[in-house]
Amino acid sequence: MKFISPKLHGIIDFVVVLFLLASPMLFGMNGFLAIFTYALGLVHLALTLLTDFNAGVVKVIPLPIHGVIELIVGIALMVLAFTLFKDSGTGKLYYSCFGAAVLLTWLFTDYKAPKNQ
């Protein structure tokens, strides 16, 4: 069941960017974990602004491709939680939960709906 419309997904994307950029301070991240999280926030902002939907500004990435990118990122974050961040309790928990949230958002978003919905 796909109940997240492209318009709602765009709003979620901006909330996610703010969450990523605030997370190092909120969760006491430092070093590589903080830098990685800030970088992910900026990459997600770029993806959102470049996607062809209501939240996009430049609109060069088709929404279904945005969905494929999010699927790949969600899987990669789950893997990174248990490999790259396995020795950081904060990193492991944060990226396990965040990766799962990305995958759930991917699962419930209708990437084929008209972009103004």
DSSP symbols for 33-71: HHHHHHHHHHHHHHHHHHBSSTT-SS--B-HHHHHHHHH
- 114 lies in a domain? no
Per-residue pLDDT at 113? 85
Instruction: Read off the pLDDT of residues 10-22 as tens digits, 9 standing for 90 and up.
Output: 999 999 999 999 9
- 104 lies in a domain? yes
Per-residue pLDDT at 117? 62
Per-residue pLDDT at 116? 67
Q: Which residues of the chain have pLDDT under 70?
A: 115-117
- 63 lies in a domain? yes
Cα separation of the two ends of the chain: 16
- 117 lies in a domain? no
Per-residue pLDDT at 57? 95
Residue type, position 38, single letter: Y
- 38 lies in a domain? yes
Cα→Cα distances 38→24, 33, 91, 103, Å: 8, 9, 13, 20
Question: What DSSP state is assigned to residue 109?
Answer: B
- 101 lies in a domain? yes
User: Number of folded domains in the chain?
Assistant: 1
What global pTM score does this model have? Answer: 0.93
Beta bridge mates, 4: 109
Per-residue pLDDT at 114? 82
- Rounded to whole angstroms, the Cα distance separating 44 from 39 reads 9
Domain that holds residue 14: 6-108
